[in-house]
Structures are given as structure tokens and as C-alpha cells.
Structure 1
Amino acid sequence: MATRDIRDFMGQPLEWKQPNIFQRVYELRVGDEVLATLAKQGVFKSAYDAWTPEGQWTIRREGFWQKDFAVLDTQGNTIANGHTRMSGKAELWTASGNGYQWKNTNFWGTQWEWRNLEGMSLIAFHKKNVTILPAATDVPDLVLLAILARYLKIIQDDANAAATAAATT
């Protein structure tokens, strides 16, 4: 695991890679250096664990339709809550009071961004590539946003696959 701050790679393309196609483990990499890891807890569980030099978290879906999610620290304290929409958009609120929006930035739904509540773009996500934008320099939740970018695309891709399977049967 890397020990450098994700901000050291501002403006550089970072990539989420899945080292083993048969495991739901994803690594945020710059070259050979792993900056963060996101892993599903088990086959029959919907929770994911994330590890970075800044800490470790669990991301858990909540609610009847599982449109909400919570980010928990290692003691089980909720450090952030989020809500997803059918369109793939999401909102995130941290325990420290920061709010963020996950928005689609193109017609095809292949480019997404985390923005602050003023609409300033912080992180760009395209397919599996992450770019930390200059406005994100002082964002305290930057690593968490990079992890949640991949997490939200995973659950969106899973929902799309389920809808396709249901439509073809």
C-alpha cells in the first residue's frame, strides 16, 4: 500500500484496476503503486471494505430499496451517509458537515464527477480512470471521494446488469 498522499498525483491519471477478474477487489493505482483498495466483503454481502494510508472504512448499503449507503470507520461509527438515485446521481454528507454531489457529465453516462455543493468539480471519473482536479487541493474527504467514485460505478453497473438480465428473460 502506498504511503504518499493522493494529492501528490493531482492532474495525473489514476486507474482503478481489478487484479483478479474472479474477485471483487479493486485497486486505485498510479503505475505500480497502489493508493487505495476496495473489496467486497463476501459473495452474499453487499458491503465493501476500503483501505488507504489515511484509514480503513466499510461502505454499507441501507434502506428498503438500498438506495442509501453509509461509510463506517473501524469502530463502526458512521463518518458519511449517501443517497443514490435511479439516474446514478448521488449525494454524500460527511459527519464533519461537508456535502458533495456525484453527477453525470456527458450524455452517454460514461463520465462522472464529484462536486462540492457550490458545483465546483473535484474528481473526474471516466470508466476506470480517476483525475484529481485542482479545486480538490484542500478537500478533506478526497480519498473517500475517490473510493466512492468506484463504489458508485460498481453498484450502478450491477443494477444495469440486473435490469438487462430481467429484460431478456
Structure 2
Amino acid sequence: MKRLQDCWNENLVWERIKPLQPQFELRLGDEVLARMSKAMINTKGEAEAQDGQWTMKSEGMWKTRIMVREAQSGTIVATMPWAVPMGKIPARILELTNGTQYPLFLNIGKGGNLESGFTTPTGRFLVSGRSEGMADKHKGIVRIDSAAQTLPELSLLVCLSWYLNMFAVQDAASRGGAMGGALGAAG
């Protein structure tokens, strides 16, 4: 696999690899740059890129957090609050174990397509994945800003933004289908 840092200014697309299954490959033409799969029933996701493999999962009942772990060792590499009791939406900020923080944004676009990604703490866009299409035609368009090109965690941010895109849709459905309600003030 090629490093994402080497193709940040390219047309990158998450393409579904199995019909009706949440399994995707991040592609630059015919070249695979990353892989992502998400369980249909629970919240676990798995991602792989040239510079790492991670698992992602929502944990907790009342104070839900997204936990990102290194796949081989199980070591936590990042956490992010997702929901708290009484329907309050927390500030959704990804925090790496080294203290680096990336605020999350979630936006609903034309036709209900969801875009999720990360910014700098000052609000500069870094990476995003925007969903397009439905069912077996579902894909994700990836944007990477030049400011993200040198980030050692670029692959993690790209994979996690696509996982969160899929997770937000599943989370909204489990809360009654109101996408705007599940996204709350996070976008």
C-alpha cells in the first residue's frame, strides 16, 4: 500500500468491495491505499493502511466514547466522546494519547449525504469523507488538505473519518432515524 501522505492531493475514493456489506477500500485509481470494515450489528470497525492497523468501537452505555486501538496490541491510541446522558451532545474532539486534539465535524449535505472529518483546534479543515450513493453503490469521496500532508496520524484520521461516517448513520437509525438529532451540535 502507498502512504496517504504521498497522495494527499489526489482523487481518493472509499469503494464498497462487497455488495450490501460495510467493507470498503480507499482507492487511487486501481491502487488500494487503505481498507475499512464495519460490523453490521455492533459498532466495531477495523482499518488498515500502510502505516498502521486499528480497531474502532463505541464503548460505554451512558457516556459513550469512540475508542481507537492499535489492532495488534490493543493499545488505546485515541478517544473521543460521542454521547452523554439526557441527550446532550458533547464537544466531539478526538484526542490522541500524546495529547494532540482534532475536533470532529459532521454535516448533512445534498440528498442526505453525510460528510465527516477533522479540523485543527483553530478550525482549519484537515480531512473528510463524504458519502455518496445508496446500498451497493455507496462510496466515500475523500478530501485531504495540504495542512494534513505531514501529519504522522493522517492515515488514522482518514480511516476514522470514514468509520464515523458509517457509525453516525447507524447511531441515528438506532435513535429513531433522525439524522439531525444524532448529529446534534457536532456539525
TM range (shorter): 0.7 to 0.9
Instruction: List runs of 5+ in structure 2 lacking aligned partners.
Output: 132-139, 179-187
What CA deviation, in whole Å up to 9, does each residue of 1:55-101 have, x standing for no partner?
Answer: 11111211114731111111111011112257797310001211001
Provide closer, same or farther for how the CA distance between residues 62 and 133 of structure 1 changes in structure 2, counting only shifts above 3 A. Answer: same
1:92 aligns with 2:94: yes
Matched residue type, 1:54: D
Per the alignment, do residues 27 and 60 of structure 1 end up closer, same or farther by CA in structure 2, a change over 3 Å counting? same
Moved more, 65-74 or 103-112: 103-112
TM-score, structure 2 normalization: 0.76
CA RMSD of aligned residues (A): 2.5
CA contact (8 A) 1:81 1:94 kept: yes
In structure 2, distance between residues paired with 1:107 and 1:65: 29
2-structure distance, mates of 1:160, 1:18: 21
Counterpart in the other structure of 1:61: 58
**2:169 is matched with which residue?**
157
Q: Aligned to 2:177, what secondary structure does the other structure show?
A: helix
The one of 113, 122, 126 aligned to 2:126: 122
Q: How many residues align?
A: 162
Specify whether residues 30 and 65 from structure 1 end up closer, same or farther in structure 2 by C-alpha distance, changes over 3 A only: farther
Letter in 2 for 1:122: L
Structure 1 unmatched ranges of 5 or more: none
Aligned to 2:12: 14
CA distance in 1, matches of 2:11, 2:173: 27
Which residue is 1:47 aligned to? Answer: 44
Percent identity, aligned pairs only, is: 27
Structure 1 outlier segments of 4+, above 6 Å? 86-89
Aligned residue identity for 1:93: E
Distance 1:65 1:30 in 2: 40
